[in-house]
């Protein structure tokens, strides 16, 4: 199982210099992927812009939106170009994870209706896929840069029949949220079933993204960030915070549990933006040796 790490771009107030330093450290320690989480109405950095910065200071590590909330962005052609640009600048390292999102304030702030977002997502995917395939759009031909984002680099999030069918019909894999290994196991089973119903060869790539914090203030750091970030969910924020991994034993146990459940890649997201967290996590996982699993 590959082990990736999230960028602290989700944590409000994190300086850009720390995000860049974090990206360099993650590649140096051998993590497989740098992930970014999306929200509009929050103090986080925009995911694709953040990955563009990470692309400039790294060479091998995968860059993943985990996940990008597509429907409230509205303009499929512009989004296709932005994603293709990150993929181009990074030498083909972008993994585009996408979903519809579940927070109404993100949609209200963007002026896009919350209802019908699933249908809008599918229509935008159709348009982006045609653009990435090089279909002409004007006097100059296709929207570039070409090639865009290949289907093998598309993954989807979300739970339910429609999201799972989207994985099977249009993507290469599925990423679970931060609700624990049991939720991952249940979703993974449904994704595999949808994959088989669609007659797909091989296996879907299955991922998850728990939160972590390490050090003497680990539990306090986890609660401070997660109770704020998930406050929009009310009491569910407490559940997310309670699942944060806050010591080396919990991290190793979680890695073993996710691997046993069939997870192909675990992307651990930080609750503390200090770049020392990269090294603490790598040491917790491998006793100070490189994490491994870089498969650009």
CATH code assigned to 2-286: 3.20.20.30
73-97 average pLDDT score: 97
Hey, what are 146's tokens?
A: 């070409």
DSSP state of 245: B
Distance, in Å, from the CA atom of 117 to the CA atom of 124, rounded to the nearest integer, reads 10
C-alpha torsion sign, points 268, 99, 207, 50: negative
pLDDT in tens, 202-220: 999 999 999 999 999 999 9
Distance, in Å, from the CA atom of 258 to the CA atom of 251, rounded to the nearest integer, reads 11
Do the beta carbons of residue 175 and residue 67 sit within 8 Å?
Answer: yes
Distance, in Å, from the CA atom of 61 to the CA atom of 294, rounded to the nearest integer, reads 6
pLDDT in tens, 3-61: 999 999 999 999 999 999 999 999 999 999 999 999 999 999 999 999 999 999 999 99
Domain spans of the chain, in order of start: 2-286
């Amino acid at each position: 199982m590959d082990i990736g790490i999230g960028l602290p771009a989700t944590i409000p107030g994190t300086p850009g210099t720390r995000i860049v330093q974090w990206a360099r450290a993650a590649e140096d320690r051998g993590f497989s992927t740098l992930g970014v989480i999306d929200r509009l109405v929050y103090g986080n950095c925009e995911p694709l812009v953040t990955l563009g910065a990470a692309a400039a200071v790294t060479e091998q590590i995968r860059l993943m939106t985990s996940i990008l909330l597509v429907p409230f962005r509205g303009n499929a052609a512009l989004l296709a170009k932005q994603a293709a640009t990150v993929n181009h600048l990074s030498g083909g390292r972008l993994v585009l994870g996408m979903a519809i999102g579940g927070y109404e304030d993100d949609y209200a702030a963007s002026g896009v209706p919350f209802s019908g977002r699933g249908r809008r997502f599918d229509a935008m995917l159709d348009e982006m896929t045609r653009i990435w395939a090089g279909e002409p759009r004007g006097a100059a031909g296709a929207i570039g840069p070409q090639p865009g984002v290949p289907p093998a680099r598309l993954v989807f999030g979300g739970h339910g029949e429609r999201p799972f069918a989207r994985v099977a019909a249009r993507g290469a894999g599925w990423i679970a949220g931060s609700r624990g290994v049991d939720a991952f196991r249940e979703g993974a089973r449904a994704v595999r079933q949808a994959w088989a119903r669609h007659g797909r060869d091989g296996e879907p790539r299955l991922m998850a993204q728990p939160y972590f914090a390490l050090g003497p203030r680990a539990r306090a750091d986890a609660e401070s960030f997660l109770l704020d970030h998930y406050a929009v969910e009310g009491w569910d924020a407490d559940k997310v915070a309670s699942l944060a991994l806050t010591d080396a034993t919990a991290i190793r146990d979680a890695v073993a549990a996710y691997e046993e459940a069939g997870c192909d890649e675990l992307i651990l997201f930080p609750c503390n933006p200090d770049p020392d967290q990269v090294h603490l996590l790598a040491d917790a996982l491998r006793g100070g040796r490189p994490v491994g699993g870089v498969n650009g």
